[in-house]
Amino acid sequence: MALNRSESMKRAWIARRTSAQKLAAWHERPTCLCCGAPLIKASSAKTQRLFRQGHDARLKALAAQVIRGEAPASHIPVIARLMRNRIGFLKTKPELMKAFTGIGLRRESRSDANATVEA
Domain count, the chain: 1
Q: How far apart, in whole angstroms, are the C-alpha atoms of residue 65 and residue 63?
A: 5
Rounded mean pLDDT of 107-117?
43
**Would you mind telling me the total number of residues written for the chain in this entry?**
119
Q: How far apart, in whole angstroms, are the C-alpha atoms of residue 74 and residue 65?
A: 12
Query: Which residue range forms the structural domain that includes residue 15?
Result: 2-118
Write out the H or E segment, with its range, that includes residue 82: helix 78-82
pTM score of the predicted model: 0.72
What is the percentage of the chain residues whose pLDDT exceeds 70? Answer: 83
| Structure confidence by residue, pLDDT tens digits, 57-73 | 999 999 999 999 999 98
| Structure confidence by residue, pLDDT tens digits, 20-68 | 999 899 999 999 998 889 999 998 888 899 999 989 999 999 999 999 9
